[in-house]
Chains A and B, each alone.
Chain A
């Protein structure tokens, strides 16, 4: 305790104090020495006389003497008796006083012997002041020293941890450069950057630091402030590192100041790993009191990361037993909160056993549990640990933190332990992070994804099923739980190999992770749970294991059947659940771009019983994902049941059915075109199969055509319905080009006519687009057909095209006649041209079957020749309509040039066809042929 220095200070203080008390008393009262008192009186009178200024201020000799005397007595007493800082103040005042008195002596010209004592005591006072102030001067001396790594041994010999400090100063230099880099990143491009960097560089050099720094700091105030903060921090760290000095006169104040500095910096910017390393050592070594250690620990906020070594060192302090229970608790809390910011965890994992042993401590237990929860890996779960935990559970009862740890153990070793968590509980650990909540957010922002957060298991109530539901109701898709291989059948060698490295499903959180572990994924115990996990769906998408798909399909078909609401009459809530379930299934199917087999089977089974109302949209969406099969096979199972519903329902139902059929067609076409490329083209059976599948598609298109013709008739040419029908044909007309399949099916004449004569411009637009696409497809098909004529003589593509072209030409010719009718300036001319172009009997234009009034009136029964008067009436009507059409078209094309191009092309093409057809013979008087033509163009 008593160093020579402190003894000196004490002796000096007492001696000086007593002396000044004595001197003061002499000045105040004559009781001690009358001679001396009168001498004083005389001397002070002469002082005042010598200083006229004092007199002017109204201070006489008595006042001056008495006040100086009183001051001397007071300061003397303080110096003798009062410890700490007041002593220094008293010293200072006395020094001033002595100087003043010396000044007075000099003023009146006293000889040296009269003021020699004052001179001596003044020197003594100065010495004492210097000695007492030494500890404060020391750091500032250090500051003046450049950071050169060379240290003065005299300064550090006494310090208990000189070595560590040495390390620190060396480390501080890279830190500076790092900081400067950091800042340079922030202030890129500004010229302050240059000076800034320069300043830092210069500062790093030994020697001429001060002056240069001054220059630049005039420019950069903030830099200076930063420097200041950094220096303060460094001082503070060193201060703590050195440990407490009991004898210091002003210890508390300095300590307080250092702590403040530390806290400010820590909460503002965080601490560098090295600083944390040092301070953790300080806090856990128990050099300071509990309160200070607590404060230090609380401000251990990393700037970005915490190095693993420092944590390991800190843990080693725990073993020494120098720190109290509270500090230990706080340390564990800190460790849990900062767990994510520790750069590596390998060595910490090696300390698992130590942490596990600390579970014994009741106070520490919750926090250690949390830490273990974060640390535990599969290899840590050992039977003896399980037993230990169970013993603890017996001792402490059902503690949430223990439960959480136990359930994690169960997750890793289901064959050793079994536990079921209560459903209601959500929080298992006291939040250790709330002490540092705001700081953690700041740190995370600073890190900004520099390193990804490690995957964590989420303990949820999802594990337990809701109690209210019956166990065998299925709509709830089970949560993801990885299967425990151990309890499934015999273990094969491959299982052993796999289980070593396999990744539990619960830990899978990102796509890259999936890619890395795709070979060693532990599949869920209930395969159906993948429906809820988009990541695993990727896996399912590329997996070829039959068992996985079978497991999926077993569950799905059972569930669909069990939950289907029109099987068992149930309440509204269940319907909602079923709808949600179907939605999920549909979403998955869309994701996988293929239908589940069980869904298909479900459709076959349930469609005959469907009322066409419940879960309509879901049901129709399921329909679009029927896998490609032969149409003749699917028709009795499916379409024969759908058709009656279709005809008897509202127009909206019809539209939605048509839409889903469009999507079905698209899916089939996609499937076929993909499949086409996958399979070798040379094998001979393929051609026939391909032909067969083409045929199936054609049949589907025909069937939809048939449906839509009837629907149009039922709904009396509704525009909405037409729109959906034309949507379908937009797909159909483009098959050859888009999907590279030799299919070209033209739409039924009835649809063409009702679209053409529709009063809606958008329908007409759509129709024109379709015709334009047909034309493109036809020409493309023709070109290719010529090329591979030798290969395909009577193959399906040739068949499709050849049979359809004729029909198509006729329709398009009709269309052309209408178009020319519309676009030509006079109806008369149009009539003439129509009569010329159409391969019809050489009758009057009005009698042309294409222009038969049937189309306009929609009267199906009116077959056969009509009266001329009626004909004329009809013709006039047609003319009127065509005028209207033309007006609309022109108006439309005025607004947007969209229609111009396709129409122009059609007209060009038609005029070309015109010439071709005019070369053909007219039908003349062949009655059978005429009849046939009439039937072809008859509606329905």
Chain B
């Protein structure tokens, strides 16, 4: 028994006043408070809601949503944007298109507002948010103007990226007014374009991108939550990929289940209505493991889960995600936002 601990009880009582000393000041200090709180217990909350179609979703422009679905997005986490304004989209698109044109032809200066063979469009994604307090999502598209067909105003889409924040407000109480917090950034297109545009955003809004990898732990959460979703009809099988890190080549194990079977398994595991708990997730995965072990004598728990795909969405550990179901778009984004916020905090 160390002498220090014996003193602990008395000292704790006395230092409770010190907390007042720090509380309630600036956002920075609040932020730090939340970090201290966070790191003291396990980072991921032990229970979450099963995603459900919210009423907000009705506002979403179906054409735009179609744009977001069935595409592979690379996910990035993003620190808050400084002095970003939703009213300046026109100006941003002018600047960004000039910037891209200048970067593409190294050394040749271009005039802002000139007619380039690319077009940048900034537009709002109305309705892609959890609550009214979430900042609105927005979409950036880069189109190539085809020289041959002038009548086609819509050119080929070269690159798409969008910024969103779904149910992030509850996690981000500490953002001051100069900042717009859109912690989740999804991009689809050439990596070089992403880096160009990301660089521009970093320079213009003093933010910082970093790729958002999804750990196996979170993948199994996703698997469980997405299996739990009620579907009218299933579009794809539920599929898992495990990777066995062995030389010379890594071994991949694919495990496909009929979605209705997966749902049946989940229903048998699931107890608390409307919520998913850590125990349920573990149990669900254990069931799958034991089933696999019975057939192939391989302990999947010793390998690494790298990909999960369900009818709702599919996610890869590299931070790639594809959303399939229109109904659960918000739910999937909410979880991704949570991951991104956890990363940037």
Q: Which residues of A contact B (CB under 8 A)?
A: 386-387, 389-390, 393, 398, 402-403, 406-407, 409-410, 414-422, 425, 465, 470-472, 474, 478, 481, 483, 486-490, 525-527, 546-547, 549-551, 553-555, 557-559, 561-562, 597, 600-601, 604-605, 629-633, 636-637, 685, 688-689, 691-693, 695-696, 699, 702-703, 706, 710
A604/B35 contact (C-beta < 8 A), A490-B85, A689-B17 known: yes
Q: How would you classify the secondary structure of chain B's contact residues: helix, strand, loop or mixed?
A: helix
Give the Cβ gap from A568 to chain B, nearest Cβ, in Å.
Answer: 9
Is the Cβ of B18 less than 8 Å from the Cβ of A487?
A: no
Is the Cβ of A691 less than 8 Å from the Cβ of B198?
A: no
Pick from B6-14, B56-64, B125-133 the stretch touching chain A: B6-14
Select one of B14, B20, B22, B195 contacting A695, CB under 8 A: B14
- CB of B206 closer than 8 Å to a CB of A: yes
A709 to chain B: closest residue by CB: B3
Is the Cβ of A387 less than 8 Å from the Cβ of B208?
A: no
Select one of A407, A699, A706 contacting B2, CB under 8 A: A706
A546 to chain B: closest residue by CB: B26
Give the Cβ gap from A453 to chain B, nearest Cβ, in Å.
Answer: 28
Please, which residues of chain B bring their CB within 8 A of the CB of A555? 79, 206, 208
Please, which residues of chain B bring their CB within 8 A of the CB of A525? 203-204, 206
A471/B32 contact (C-beta < 8 A), A487-B92, A689-B18, A691-B14 known: no
Q: How would you classify the secondary structure of chain A's contact residues: helix, strand, loop or mixed?
A: helix
Chain B CB within 10 A, most for which of A387, A471, A636: A471
- CB of B249 closer than 8 Å to a CB of A: no
Select one of B4, B76, B210 contacting A703, CB under 8 A: B4
Assembled-state Cα–Cα distance A695/B29 (Å): 22
Assembled-state Cα–Cα distance A546/B28 (Å): 8
- CB of B159 closer than 8 Å to a CB of A: no
Please, which residues of chain B bring their CB within 8 A of the CB of A689? 17-18, 20-21
Extra 4 A-B pairs, beta carbons < 8 Å, given A488-B204, A554-B344: A389-B109, A601-B345, A632-B12, A636-B40
A469 to chain B: closest residue by CB: B195
Is the Cβ of A471 less than 8 Å from the Cβ of B195?
A: yes
Please, which residues of chain B bring their CB within 8 A of the CB of A488? 82-85, 204-205
CB interface residues, B 10-50, toward A, < 8 Å:
11-12, 14-22, 26-29, 31-32, 35-36, 39-40
Give the Cβ gap from A502 to chain B, nearest Cβ, in Å.
Answer: 16
The number of A-B residue pairs with CB atoms under 8 Å apart is 203
Give the Cβ gap from B181 to chain A, nearest Cβ, in Å.
Answer: 10
Q: Which residues of B contact A (CB under 8 A)?
A: 2-4, 7-8, 11-12, 14-22, 26-29, 31-32, 35-36, 39-40, 76-77, 79-80, 82-85, 87-88, 91-92, 95, 98-99, 101-103, 106-112, 176, 178-179, 194-196, 198-199, 202-211, 343-345
Is the Cβ of A559 less than 8 Å from the Cβ of B208?
A: yes
Is the Cβ of A692 less than 8 Å from the Cβ of B206?
A: no
Give the Cβ gap from A533 to chain B, nearest Cβ, in Å.
Answer: 16
A553 to chain B: closest residue by CB: B28
Please, which residues of chain A bring their CB within 8 A of the CB of B80? 550, 554
Assembled-state Cα–Cα distance A549/B1 (Å): 43
Assembled-state Cα–Cα distance A490/B142 (Å): 24
Select one of A472, A489, A605, A710 contacting B209, CB under 8 A: A472
Assembled-state Cα–Cα distance A367/B33 (Å): 59
Give the Cβ gap from A248 to chain B, nearest Cβ, in Å.
Answer: 55
Is the Cβ of A419 less than 8 Å from the Cβ of B102?
A: yes
Assembled-state Cα–Cα distance A632/B27 (Å): 23
Select one of A414, A490, A526, A631 contacting B11, CB under 8 A: A631
A558/B344 contact (C-beta < 8 A), A474-B210, A550-B176 known: yes
Is the Cβ of B109 less than 8 Å from the Cβ of A419?
A: yes
Chain B CB within 10 A, most for which of A421, A546, A636: A546
Select one of B19, B84, B198 contacting A471, CB under 8 A: B198
Assembled-state Cα–Cα distance A562/B77 (Å): 11
Is the Cβ of B206 less than 8 Å from the Cβ of A417?
A: no
Please, which residues of chain B bring their CB within 8 A of the CB of A406? 109
Please, which residues of chain A bring their CB within 8 A of the CB of B209? 471-472
Please, which residues of chain B bring their CB within 8 A of the CB of A691? 14, 17
> What are 23 A-B pairs with beta-carbon distances under 8 A?
A402-B109, A407-B109, A414-B112, A415-B112, A418-B95, A418-B110, A419-B109, A470-B195, A472-B209, A487-B88, A489-B84, A525-B206, A549-B28, A555-B208, A557-B344, A558-B344, A559-B208, A601-B32, A601-B39, A604-B39, A605-B35, A632-B8, A695-B14
Is the Cβ of B109 less than 8 Å from the Cβ of A393?
A: yes
Is the Cβ of A605 less than 8 Å from the Cβ of B39?
A: yes
B87 to chain A: closest residue by CB: A490
Please, which residues of chain B bring their CB within 8 A of the CB of A702? 3-4, 7
Assembled-state Cα–Cα distance A229/B16 (Å): 87
Please, which residues of chain A bring their CB within 8 A of the CB of B19? 630, 633
A698 to chain B: closest residue by CB: B11
Give the Cβ gap from A594 to chain B, nearest Cβ, in Å.
Answer: 12
Is the Cβ of A632 less than 8 Å from the Cβ of B85?
A: no
Is the Cβ of A631 less than 8 Å from the Cβ of B107?
A: no
Is the Cβ of A692 less than 8 Å from the Cβ of B14?
A: yes
Please, which residues of chain B bring their CB within 8 A of the CB of A418? 95, 98-99, 101-102, 109-112
Is the Cβ of A386 less than 8 Å from the Cβ of B111?
A: yes
Assembled-state Cα–Cα distance A587/B209 (Å): 25
Is the Cβ of B7 less than 8 Å from the Cβ of A410?
A: no
Assembled-state Cα–Cα distance A196/B119 (Å): 78
A550/B179 contact (C-beta < 8 A), A418-B110, A418-B112, A470-B195 known: yes
Is the Cβ of B35 less than 8 Å from the Cβ of A601?
A: yes
- Which 4 pairs across A and B sit closest by C-beta, in order of nearness? A471-B195, A419-B109, A418-B98, A489-B85
Assembled-state Cα–Cα distance A600/B211 (Å): 23
Assembled-state Cα–Cα distance A393/B109 (Å): 8
B99 to chain A: closest residue by CB: A418
Please, which residues of chain A bring their CB within 8 A of the CB of B107? 398, 403, 419-422, 425
Please, which residues of chain A bring their CB within 8 A of the CB of B82? 488, 547, 551
Is the Cβ of A554 less than 8 Å from the Cβ of B208?
A: yes
Is the Cβ of A487 less than 8 Å from the Cβ of B208?
A: no
Chain B CB within 10 A, most for which of A407, A558, A688: A558
Give the Cβ gap from A23 to chain B, nearest Cβ, in Å.
Answer: 82
Please, which residues of chain B bring their CB within 8 A of the CB of A414? 95, 112
Give the Cβ gap from B118 to chain A, nearest Cβ, in Å.
Answer: 13
Select one of A387, A487, A554, A685 contacting B111, CB under 8 A: A387
Give the Cβ gap from B253 to chain A, nearest Cβ, in Å.
Answer: 23
Give the Cβ gap from B186 to chain A, nearest Cβ, in Å.
Answer: 14
Assembled-state Cα–Cα distance A62/B98 (Å): 101
Assembled-state Cα–Cα distance A387/B114 (Å): 11
A687 to chain B: closest residue by CB: B17
Please, which residues of chain B bring their CB within 8 A of the CB of A415? 91, 95, 112
A696/B18 contact (C-beta < 8 A), A393-B108, A632-B8 known: yes
Give the Cβ gap from B127 to chain A, nearest Cβ, in Å.
Answer: 24
Assembled-state Cα–Cα distance A386/B205 (Å): 26
Is the Cβ of A561 less than 8 Å from the Cβ of B198?
A: no
Give the Cβ gap from A587 to chain B, nearest Cβ, in Å.
Answer: 21
Assembled-state Cα–Cα distance A398/B88 (Å): 32
Is the Cβ of B91 less than 8 Å from the Cβ of A487?
A: yes
Please, which residues of chain A bring their CB within 8 A of the CB of B84? 488-489
Give the Cβ gap from B318 to chain A, nearest Cβ, in Å.
Answer: 13
Is the Cβ of B15 less than 8 Å from the Cβ of A472?
A: no
B22 to chain A: closest residue by CB: A629
Assembled-state Cα–Cα distance A636/B37 (Å): 11
A419/B108 contact (C-beta < 8 A), A471-B195, A600-B32 known: yes
B10 to chain A: closest residue by CB: A695
Assembled-state Cα–Cα distance A685/B18 (Å): 10
Give the Cβ gap from B317 to chain A, nearest Cβ, in Å.
Answer: 13
Assembled-state Cα–Cα distance A398/B26 (Å): 51
Assembled-state Cα–Cα distance A526/B79 (Å): 13
Assembled-state Cα–Cα distance A829/B310 (Å): 90
Assembled-state Cα–Cα distance A798/B196 (Å): 64
Please, which residues of chain B bring their CB within 8 A of the CB of A526? 202-203, 206
Is the Cβ of A420 less than 8 Å from the Cβ of B211?
A: no
Please, which residues of chain A bring their CB within 8 A of the CB of B27? 546, 550
Assembled-state Cα–Cα distance A471/B17 (Å): 46
